[in-house]
Each structure stands twice: as C-alpha cells, then as structure tokens.
Amino acid sequence: MPSADLTELHHLFIHAMLLRRVAPYEQWMEVWKKSAAVTGKRVSESEFAPFYGEINDRIAPIGFSIDVLSDEGIGPIDLEQIQNETSHGRRVKTKRWMALVNTRSDETAKLGTEFGSNEISLYKKIVDRIILSTNYRYCLTHHDCLRLTSTLEANIKKSEAEKLLTVLVEKGWLSKSSTGYYSLSIRSKLELKSYIDENYNEEDRPPTCAACREIVMRGFKCPNSECPKAMHVTCIINQTRQAHICPSCKSPFSYSIKIGEDAPKGRNQTLTNGDNDDAANTSTQRSGGPSSQRRSKRNRDQSTVEEDELSDD
C-alpha cells in the first residue's frame, strides 16, 4: 500500500483491518485508540473519521476503501415499536459497521480463498435472487436456496448445499433471521457494494434511504409512486419524530409498503401504470417495486430461465 504521509499509527490500523476486515464501528475506534497508545500519540474520538479518511485517500487508487454501513437488522419489523418510538420523540442510536473493502475484485475473487467454484456459483445465484426479489422482499427461504442448486452447471448435493448455507452464515456472507429467511449480511453489503452497482440496473437495485442514503433491504418504501426513496426502521424513528413526511419528496410517509421479510410473497404483486389489469390478483403493496420481469444487466436471459425453472417446482 502507498506509504507516503502515512504514520506508524496509520500502518498499525491498516494491518489490523487486513486481519479482521469487518467489525462494529466502535470496535475499530477502540483498535485505533489502543494503536495510538502504542505509538505514544494522544487522540480524541472526533479525530477518528478524519484519520481513516486519510487512509482512504491513499488506498483508493489501488482499489481499497474503508467503508461504513448502518445495521438495518434482520427479520420481521415491530411496527408497534416504531409507532411508540416516533410518538415519544425518542432518538434511536444506529449500530454501524466498518470494513476494509476491495473495490476492484468481483465477488468470485472475494470468496475464492474460502470456497470452491461450485460453492461460489451457488452463492452468486443466492445473491442474485435476493437482489432481484419481487415486492422488495430481499430474502429467501431455506428451500428457495436449495432449489437454486438445480440451476448450477455442476451438480451439488443437497447435504453439501445445506452445509454451505451454514458456513456462509457463520462466516458472515449471509444473515439468517429467527424465522429462517436468508438475506444479505453486513459483510456482503459492504464487500459487494461496487459489484451490485456495476452489475445491476438502477431500477433493479434496492432503493436508497431518504435519510442516510444507504441501501434499504429492511424498512419501508415511500408511498409516493413518483419517489424512489425508502427508509430504514431507525431512520424512520429518527427522521419522522416530529413530522411524518419523506425527507426526499416531502410527501406524507406511511408504513403501507414494506421492505424485507414482511413484504408480500408471490410474483408480480407490485403494480405500475399499465402493468396489470387484474387488480384482484395483486397485493395491496402496489407502489412500482422491483418486478420479476426486470433483470440485472449482468445476465438477463439466464435469470429469466432460472426463475421459470424454480416456479415450476
């Protein structure tokens, strides 16, 4: 890595990040403080962000970045809790994570040292299906993941696929909720951010938060059909305590369009103008969300074939 203008403290911190890669923001701050003590430098917490910003300036040209992401949680959303928190005007602290991310490698290179080619292929299929979920669900059941093995070029046994799912969760590449749904983990969202941006059309990617600007895979979509924004649960609590409006379009914000595990199941349940004339076969969640008819620019035809195969099971 470039060493110009980097101090001993910078190098110690970089070394620590190379060893661990992903950890809560507060833990990295403690690592920084302890490293500073080793070098005899006195620091204050307000200096931490500028400190790793200096590292980012040096490592960006070689394809690395220190990124921070808020934890949006997993599993069903407690709507009653949101309503109570917003009505009482309490501010909720969001847990943040920090990671050293390789911005140039695709996900194959990131997993290459831990998994075989067939395992990586299955993981890629899972990621693809999660991102292209209908109705903003962004999650898969255990059975959904196992069925994807039938779309692989090389055979993989059910027992091997089940073991892989366990390992992917243990190593932080997937999250599994208490209700059994798999979704992208903090690590995968950080590590695959550039991959998702480069390989999926803008309309196929998860919406971004009107408050913090990070992707939303668990929360609520702005009910204004003209607004592409959404909000995380904690961002809703913190941003709509006094005025229940979308920070982006200023329209009234409600909890009618769910994102994540709570979103409706099924295909083609979201509606845009002219998408479907049969209203009886649609969900009440009708704000032009990701449709099963839209595909990633990475492999549109193959995704369509896979979806047809899975729907026939």
**CATH code of the domain containing 211:** 1.10.10.10
* Residue 191 is assigned to a structural domain of this protein: yes
**What is the mean predicted confidence (pLDDT) over 212-234?**
93
* Residue 100 is assigned to a structural domain of this protein: no
* Residue 165 is assigned to a structural domain of this protein: yes
Specify the 3-state DSSP secondary structure of 239: helix
- Per-residue pLDDT band for 103 (boundaries 50, 70, 90) equals confident
Listed residue (188, 160, 192) closest to 174, CA to CA: 188
Of 22-26, 93-97, 173-177, 185-189, which range is least confident?
Answer: 93-97
Average pLDDT for the chain: 81
pLDDT exceeds cutoff 50 at 117 = yes
**What is the mean predicted confidence (pLDDT) over 184-194?**
90
**Contact by Cβ (8 Å): 201, 209:** no
* Residue 23 is assigned to a structural domain of this protein: no
* Residue 81 is assigned to a structural domain of this protein: no
The H or E element containing residue 311 is helix 300-311
The H or E element containing residue 102 is strand 96-102
**Contact by Cβ (8 Å): 231, 211:** yes
pLDDT at 302: 47
* Residue 124 is assigned to a structural domain of this protein: yes
Task: Give the whole-angstrom CA distance, residue 264 versus residue 285.
Answer: 7
CA distances from residue 226 to 196, 230, 272, 283, 290 in whole angstroms, order as listed: 23, 12, 10, 19, 14
- Per-residue pLDDT band for 257 (boundaries 50, 70, 90) equals very high
pLDDT at 68: 93
pLDDT exceeds cutoff 60 at 196 = yes
pTM of the model: 0.78
What total of structural domains would you count in the chain? 1
For residue range 25-51, list pLDDT tens digits in order.
999 999 999 999 999 999 999 999 999
How many CB atoms lie under 10 A from the CB of residue 141? 13
pLDDT at 63: 87
pLDDT at 231: 93
Give me the half-sphere count of Cα atoms (radius 13 Å) on the Cβ side of residue 269: 15
pLDDT at 155: 85
Domain span at residue 207 reads: 107-311
Listed residue (125, 197, 182, 196) closest to 156, CA to CA: 125
pLDDT exceeds cutoff 60 at 285 = no
Of 87-101, 182-196, 242-256, which range is least confident?
Answer: 87-101
**What is the mean predicted confidence (pLDDT) over 256-285?**
56
The b-or-e profile of 39-60 (16+ CB within 10 A means b, else e) is: eeeebeeeebeebbeebeebbe
pLDDT exceeds cutoff 90 at 160 = yes
Token pair listed for 115: 């998994």
